[in-house]
Every structure is written in structure tokens, then in C-alpha cells.
Amino acid sequence: MNQKQAIQNNTQYLEMDRVLRRFFINRDVLHLCEEATEEQVEFLHRALLRADELREISKRTRLVTLARFPMIKSLEGYDYTALRFPPSISKDELQQCSFIQAKTNIVCYGPVGTGKTHLAIALGIRACELGFSVRFYTVTELVLMLAEARKKGRLETLVESISKLDLLILDEWGYVPVDKEGSQLLFRIISDSYERKSLILTTNLEFSKWGGIFTDQQMAAAMIDRLVHHGHLLLFEGQSYRMKHALMRKGGVSDDN
Ligand SMILES: Nc1ncnc2c1ncn2[C@@H]1O[C@H](COP(=O)(O)OP(=O)(O)OP(=O)(O)O)[C@@H](O)[C@H]1O
Ligand SMILES: [Mg+2]
């Protein structure tokens, strides 16, 4: 084996080749390694891997910024005791975001303050770390943006940008009634997303009551059908975290007194 072949078979060479491809740099520069000392090749290898690592970090930061999370929440320390998983998905699968590759949905259903939004954001951030494009909206915010975009003739641009996402998070589904136009716009987003991307939806409204907020029972039924068909229903049970912690704080104050 000559020196050129030896370099090309080398793991270092393969790693540098991979990084150069990602940076769209002509890989012929690697021929310089044929004239370089071992230390010089080692240095170039380290420099390229570091550049690649920094690029990945900035990509993930950019994805988190673009997702517009209302706050940062983490899966670390999240308390799963009040959460019931369906047989179709385990806690590990959820945390690994395998549902995004499978283009399936997650519906987080439960009473107020039980951690639905927290989990949705934390999963969204994990998805960004894995390189997925994500966008977080409350349903009210999305409906308003869609209606505004339609008025300004920019609806198609907004719909297209949503269609490119890997994960769309819709928080507070059913908290505020949606008018007829809003329901139609929302329906378009849901049906465009069906089997093409994942949705995480948080709600405290049982399916049988969805018709009431969308004014149109048939449309509500069609949305439920699409959301639930390839979906996992996570049931949040128990007492509101907000309430529990407020009560604990109150207890702390009286203990001190
Ligand atoms: N299981 C949990 N583990 C850790 N923190 C939690 C958990 N559940 C709730 N919290 C915290 O309690 C607060 C309320 O949670 P969150 O906003 O996620 O509730 P929610 O179910 O979305 O309520 P709502 O239906 O009112 O929107 C947040 O600060 C959240 O971080
Ligand atoms: Mg919430």
C-alpha cells in the first residue's frame, strides 16, 4: 500500500473528508496531507473536527431560536409520576423523539397545571438538539397569524413555512373558541401535516367536546381523526403543579412564622 492509499484508508482521513464535504470545501486539499508530517495531519484533523462541532452547536442554537419557545424547559428532572403512557410509546421512545422519525403525533391531555406545556417544550428542545426543525405556537396565536396572513395575501408563504417543519407544537388546544374561518385555517394545517410531520398538541378538553370549540362538528371530527390516527395519547393525571407548589410555599411561610 502506498502512502496515498494509507492516508485514504485512515480514519482521520475519512473524518476530515466528511467534514470538508459538509463545509462544501474541495476535498482535494486533503492531498496536502501526503506532504505533511504526522503532527500536521493530526492538527488539521483536530481543527476540522472542532469546526464541525461548533457548526453543530450553532445549528442547534439556531433551531431553538427559530422554534420560538415561550420559555426554556428541560426533560431533566421532569416528574413522570402523574403521566400515563399508552402501550404504543414508552418514556424512552418519547425522550428519544422516535415519534418524529415515524411522523406520528403526541396528544397531551389532562387538567390544568399538570405539566403538559412543560413536556411539550422540553421535547421540542430535545428535537432541536437532534437537528429537527420545530415551531411552537399556542392555537390562538397560530389562528391569529393564519388569519392575518390570509388578509395580507401571505397565507401560502406561512403554510409553506409550517409544512417544512419536522415538528409542530400546538399548545392550549381548545382553551379558546375558534371561529369558522379560524377552524378552516387550522384544519388546513392539520390535514397538510397528516403523515408528513409530527404534531404535539396539549389540551385539557376531551375529544367529545372539540366540536363545541370549532363550531363545526364535522370539521372537529375530521381533525380528531387525523390527529389520533397516527397518535399517542399521553394522559396527565393528578393535582396542578402550580397549585401544589403554591401551597407548599404557603406552608413554608407559616412554618417560618
Ligand atoms: N411533572 C412535572 N415535572 C416538573 N415540573 C412540572 C411538572 N408538571 C408541571 N410542572 C411545572 O409546573 C408549572 C405548570 O406546568 P405546565 O404549564 O406545563 O402545566 P399545563 O399542564 O400546561 O397547564 P395548563 O393546562 O394550565 O396550560 C410549570 O412551571 C412546570 O414547569
Ligand atoms: Mg399549558
Rounded to the nearest 10 degrees, how much is the dihedral formed by the CA atoms of 193, 85, 87, 190? -10
Within-domain flag for 135: yes
Is 115 a pocket residue for ligand 1 (Cβ < 6 Å)?
yes
pLDDT at 110 over 90: yes
Q: For residue 88, what is its C-alpha cell? A: 404504543
Atom of ligand 1 nearest to the CA of 121: 18
In this structure, are 130 and 217 located in the same domain? yes
Is 118 a pocket residue for ligand 1 (Cβ < 6 Å)?
yes
Q: For residue 208, what is its C-alpha cell? A: 367529545
Place of cell 421540542: 124
In the sheet that holds 167-173, the strands lie side by side as: 83-84, 231-236, 105-109, 198-203, 167-173, 134-138
Number of domains in the chain: 2
Site to probe by mutation for ligand 1, drawn from 71, 80, 84, 114 as the one with most ligand atoms within 8 Å of Cβ, is 114
What pLDDT shows up at residue 170?
Answer: 97
N- to C-terminal Cα distance for the chain?
82
Within-domain flag for 91: yes
Is 237 a pocket residue for ligand 1 (Cβ < 6 Å)?
no
In this structure, are 11 and 87 located in the same domain? no
Position 257 confidence tier, pLDDT thresholds 50, 70, 90: very low
In this structure, are 175 and 99 located in the same domain? yes
* Cβ–Cβ under 8 Å, residues 81 and 167: no
Q: Shortest CA distance to 75 belongs to which of 98, 101, 96? A: 96
Pick the more confident residue, 77 or 3. Answer: 77
Within-domain flag for 77: no
- Phi then psi for 13, rounded to 5 degrees? -60, -45
In this structure, are 159 and 230 located in the same domain? yes
Within-domain flag for 39: yes
DSSP state of 207: G
What pLDDT shows up at residue 254?
Answer: 38
In this structure, are 53 and 160 located in the same domain? no
Position 256 confidence tier, pLDDT thresholds 50, 70, 90: very low
- Amino acid, single-letter form, for residue 71: M
In this structure, are 35 and 132 located in the same domain? no
* Cβ–Cβ under 8 Å, residues 120 and 200: yes
Within-domain flag for 74: no
In this structure, are 212 and 184 located in the same domain? yes
Range of the domain at 156: 83-243
What pLDDT shows up at residue 253?
Answer: 39
In this structure, are 144 and 40 located in the same domain? no
- Mean of per-residue pLDDT scores for the chain: 89
Ion ligand 2: protein residues whose beta carbon lies under 5 Å? 117
pTM comes to 0.85
Q: Distance from CA of residue 208 to its chain's centroid? A: 27
In this structure, are 161 and 226 located in the same domain? yes
Is 182 a pocket residue for ligand 1 (Cβ < 6 Å)?
no
- 195-247 pLDDT, tens digit per residue, is 899 999 999 988 888 888 887 788 888 888 888 888 999 999 977 777 777 66
Residue nearest to atom 16 of ligand 1 (CA): 115
In this structure, are 102 and 201 located in the same domain? yes
Within-domain flag for 249: no
Mean pLDDT confidence for 62-86: 95
Within-domain flag for 70: no
In this structure, are 7 and 114 located in the same domain? no
Within-domain flag for 256: no
Task: Reduce the DSSP state of residue 236 to 3 states and report it.
Answer: strand
Looking up residue 201, the CATH number of its domain turns out to be: 3.40.50.300
- 14-67 pLDDT, tens digit per residue, is 999 999 998 999 988 888 888 888 899 899 999 999 999 999 999 999 999 999
Is 46 a pocket residue for ligand 1 (Cβ < 6 Å)?
no
Ligand nearest to the CA of 241: 1
In this structure, are 36 and 158 located in the same domain? no
Atom of ligand 1 nearest to the CA of 236: 21
